[in-house]
Amino acid sequence: MTRVVGLMSGTSYDGIDVAAADLAFDGSEIVLHPLGALGYPLDPGIRELVGAALPPAQTSMADACRLDTVLGQAFGEAAARGAEELADGRADLVVSHGQTLFHWIDDGRARGTLQLGQPAWIAERTGLPVVSDLRSRDITRGGQGAPLVSILDVLLLPPGPTARAALNLGGIANLTLVRPDGDVLAYDLGPANALVDLACRRYFGRPYDVDGEIAASGSVSEKLLAALLDEPYFRRSPPKSTGKELFHGGYLDAALLGVPDLAPDDIVATVTELTARLVATECGTHRVGELIVSGGGVRNGWLMRRIRELARAGDAAVRIRPIDDLGLPSDGKEAYAFALLGFLTFHGVTGTVPACTGADTATVLGSITPGHSPLRLPEPPGVVPTRLRIEPPVARGSKA
């Protein structure tokens, strides 16, 4: 049994999601025992620095260096808290996604990716080995470096009589599809919380739309929605990935040029509707029968209502439920997914699904920074895992 602390900070950059789990191989299965999850808020000063460095803003190498350090220190504190509060001070490994500053896409192909949050600070603070930089290796094999969470989805969702899909509503919405014949596909749909949060900060001085109240009070502008949907990314075939280097304030501003007098609540309603329609369209295209939803967007009641209404308006009803029903908390899914990815790397097991990222082969992901003790890696398992089983946590005193 390996006790792992996973760290994730998404495109909303409002805090660090921390999750701890006991993981073990059991034949062709991986068994994951969730130990708990928590949120570690980022200092407002750090959030301001991140926001000032994100596209389309310009930054300097000096600022990038400062960000790498202060984010690394913040991730170190978050990891230390997770190791103590969630893992009883007995964690074996930390896995850090870092904070994405740029995901370089050129002519539809990922060329590079940059996540800051120096892992040496995490290793020094916790004394534990740290797996980081998990996206780059997939890109070297021709992949998008995303969505990496798809491996958790594919291992967790066996094929069913109809297509099953896992939807994560973070800053960006991404979808993993498992068809009845076992074929899989994963890709980023487009913006989810990113544009909603941006509009709420800009027009209402709020970090996000609590339960979708602002969107529910507004009216959808079909003209603005059409301008937003005119983005060529939506017409590209998967696998594909994106981020705030495309879906930022400039994207919204360009679409607003044609509707300059739109009320703020109508803008929030429209960018919320954008996400709902993207999701419903993909569910219809792939004839999805079951949709498992996770991410911060699950807390947006109006967004979830619109997804349900639109997805169920097609030829076949879509059963929609949160990933909590399968044993993982909606808010903590990505942190648990990165704990899983780091566990695989630590044991020398590939962590990508080429059909999902577009890579030509699966690879062992990431880099490992040693902790205070000499680095000793376990032997790889004799059987390649094909399923993920989630079970209640074992007694804290019985760690193997």
Annotated binding-site residue numbers for ATP: 10-17
Q: Token digits for 11?
A: 């495109």
**Closest to 66 (Cα-Cα) out of 125, 116, 14, 126:** 116
Q: What are phi and psi of 74, to 5 degrees?
A: -65, -45
Q: Which helix (H) or strand (E) holds 9?
A: strand 2-9
C-alpha torsion sign, points 15, 16, 18, 24: positive
State the SS3 of 288-353: EEEEEEECHHHHCHHHHHHHHHHHCCCCCCCEEEEHHHHCCCHHHHHHHHHHHHHHHHHCCCCCCC
| Rounded distance between C-alpha atoms, residue 316 and residue 287, angstroms | 7
By the 10 Å C-beta count (0-12 exposed, 13-18 middle, 19+ buried), 59 is classed as: middle
Instruction: Find all residues with CB under 8 Å of 172, minimum gap 6, and list them.
Output: 10, 11, 188, 189, 190, 191, 192, 194, 242, 243, 244, 247
Which residues define the annotated binding site? 10-17
Three-class SS of residue 361? coil
The alpha helices in the chain, defined as continuous H runs, are: 44-53, 61-85, 119-126, 136-140, 150-156, 193-204, 213-217, 222-229, 249-256, 264-285, 301-311, 333-346, 354-357
Count the Cβ atoms, other than its own, within 10 Å of residue 207: 12
**Closest to 100 (Cα-Cα) out of 246, 248, 243:** 243
**Closest to 148 (Cα-Cα) out of 167, 165, 162, 135:** 135
